[in-house]
Amino acid sequence: MLSFIESPTPTLFFTGKGGVGKTSLACATAVALADAGRRVLLVSTDPASNLADVLGAPVGPTASDVATVPGLRALNVDPEAAAREYRERVVGPMRGVLPDDALRGIEEGLSGACTTEIAAFDRFASMLAGEGEASGADVVVFDTAPTGHTLRLLELPAAWSGFIDENPGGASCLGPASGLETQRERYQAAAQALRDPARTILVLVARPEPSALAEAARSAAELSALGVAGQRLVVNGMFQATDPGDPLAAAIERQAQVSLEEFPASLAALPVETLALRPHNLVGLSALRDLASGHEARPLPQEVSSSVLPSEVGDLAAIVDEVEADGKGLVLVMGKGGVGKTTVAAAVAAELAGRGHAVHLTTTDPAAHLSDTLGDDVPGQISVSRIDPAEETRRYTERVLRTKGASLDSDALQILFEDLRSPCTEEVAVFHAFSRAVGQAARGFVVMDTAPTGHTLLLLDATGSYHREVLRSSGLPDGRVTTPLMRLQDPAFTRVLVVTLAETTPVREAAALQADLQRAGVEPFAWVVNRSLAAARPTDPLLAARAAAEGPEIEAVARDHAPTGPDGPRLAVLPYLPEPPVGASRLRALAGDAVLV
């Protein structure tokens, strides 16, 4: 049995990339604790939450009993609804007091994704204090933890400074200080509870893969720097091959072992526990109880044929054909961290370059390693760059201090310094660089490997705010002004490729991303299902069972999510390869013959 199930703290947080199994592990932990006689509240703040599917019971926005598990209650916190309630609580008392223009400015400042994070933390704070839905619970299990980004926001002295009362323009996405002072002690108590290992265990969940472990290491280091001490690591999905003749199975087993041997330094000091790869998605109480207790689930051997894949599936080369037709444009490769956006972006760029086009390949992802993916044989037609968040923030900060800060007195300048320390400043700075890259696509091909979804949506929020401000301040009709958002909304200029994996949670997250893009007026161009076992056709029994389970997920993408092209759904399925596709020639092979049917 896992250590945090045997000896839980009053609060357990589970965090990790999409698809690593954190929701399954959170649910298994909650069920095991309830089975042991504890009163448990299970809470998800994930917009793509599938608690109801995993538990096999309805879960809504308010806490309710899970009828099949005595002692367990569950709820899904709707982040957008929480953000609306938070904004109204901050702005409501000012209605009828401040001028309409001032109110609109405050509401605009509270419209971004940072505010959504703070609103989610607002719900955390009440539950950490044992209030509301958490009243009477012995253990509260959270699926999705506060990020380092959120905790840094709460630490900013300027967020609580009385100076902001005299300078409403300096209010951050937390809101004006006048609306926050009553929450200060509550938030400080919540942050302290997160730092106390006797009260809170934070479980980092990862797969035995370099990218997932690197992401966990970054989170661990950032949270440690902020004083969050009670961290544990669970490496989920350890695999042992049973078919020695299956090269893919041998490669996956070898990769898992190497990943454990080459642990990032910031993870090496954490307590580490491992869980074996299961043959099917962890859905239902029986599977959850097996996971929590450590019981093995042995798959039955089965064969996987090409019939697992829908007949409508195309390949990446067909998508590139359509992208190439205009001779220029922006290709945005988007998706959650860990789904392989960098590989897909590099494959598209390599294929366009191989067809004779000059391509600029860039990334806004601080975790991306384009040079590692391209290898040493980068075609001369590809230029590579990286939008470095730290460097862009430095440039932006210097520019603001040189312009806006030049006329401020010492007190006002101190406020500006504090405001520029906010992590929101990084998002604004990266947006300016993002806008420059968008403009380059008017003259040639720009392929952009974007940051993980949450950060990408922050960019799009900034784009929308910039768009509205430009139109307001220009006084010109829409037809005379071209903003970055208008470029993103133009299907002849921008092609968005949504990348996912053939698993329940990544597909849900990708669908949620597509819905957010559509609300912003941006229509995705195509979907790419990456690292598909079904497309690789393994013979190892466990991998074959997982490959068969991909069929319904890929069919759902083809039927319900992928945009329609001239020959059916614009959907490419890329096989799980024994070795990573590194180098232009292997990337082009991936783009040219993606589906092995």
Query: How far is it, in rounded angstroms, from Cα 590 to Cα 580?
Result: 10
Which of these is catalytic: 46, 122, 246, 461?
46
Q: What are the residues facing 445 on neighbouring strands?
A: 329, 359
Residue 328 appears among annotated catalytic residues: no
Neighbours of 518 (CB within 10 A): 11
Which of these is catalytic: 23, 116, 422, 463?
23
Which of these is catalytic: 9, 16, 18, 21?
21
Q: How does DSSP assign 213-259, residue by residue?
A: HHHHHHHHHHHHHTT---EEEEEEEE---S-TT-HHHHHHHHHHHHH
Residue 592 appears among annotated catalytic residues: no
Which of these is catalytic: 9, 24, 363, 393?
24
Which of these is catalytic: 505, 516, 532, 540?
505
- Per-residue b or e along 88-97, where b marks 16 or more CB atoms closer than 10 Å to that residue's CB: eebbeebeee
Q: Which amino acid is at 73?
A: R
Helix (H, G, I), strand (E, B) or coil at 534: helix
Residue 100 appears among annotated catalytic residues: no
Helix (H, G, I), strand (E, B) or coil at 118: helix
Q: Are 309 and 535 in contact (CB under 8 A)?
A: yes
Both structure tokens of 230:
């009670």
Going across the sheet that includes 139-143, the strands are 64-65, 72-76, 40-44, 139-143, 11-15, 200-206, 231-238, 272-276
Query: How far is it, in rounded angstroms, from Cα 325 to Cα 41?
Result: 54
Give every CB contact of residue 547 below 8 A, 6+ residues apart in sequence: 304, 308, 532, 533, 534, 536, 537, 538
Residue 56 appears among annotated catalytic residues: no
Burial of 119 (0-12, 13-18, 19+ CB in 10 A): buried
Both structure tokens of 454:
């949450």
The residue assigned the tokens 């000896």 is 7
Query: How far is it, in rounded angstroms, from Cα 538 to Cα 548?
Result: 10
What phi-psi label fits residue 445: left (phi over 0), alpha (psi between -120 and 50 degrees) or beta?
beta
Q: Please give the helix or strand (H or E) that residue 383 lies within, else none.
A: strand 382-386
Residue 362 appears among annotated catalytic residues: no
Q: What are the residues facing 76 on neighbouring strands?
A: 44
Q: Are 409 and 167 in contact (CB under 8 A)?
A: no
From the list 359, 404, 317, 361, the residue with the least C-alpha distance to 588 is 317
What's the sign of the alpha-carbon dihedral 503, 506, 512, 516? negative
From the list 454, 427, 507, 517, the residue with the least C-alpha distance to 146 is 454
Provide the total of helices (H) and of strands (E) in the chain, helices listed first: 25, 17
**Main-chain dihedrals φ then ψ at residue 408, nearest 5 degrees:** -90, 150
Give every CB contact of residue 22 below 8 A, 6+ residues apart in sequence: 14, 15, 16, 143, 144, 203, 205
Q: Are 445 and 329 in contact (CB under 8 A)?
A: yes
Query: How far is it, in rounded angstroms, from Cα 155 to Cα 422?
Result: 9
Which of these is catalytic: 11, 17, 22, 456?
22
Residue 23 appears among annotated catalytic residues: yes
Residue 439 appears among annotated catalytic residues: no
Q: How does DSSP assign 154-185, residue by residue?
A: HH-HHHH-GGGGG-GGG-BTTB-GGGTHHHHH
What residues are labeled active site? 19, 21-24, 46, 505
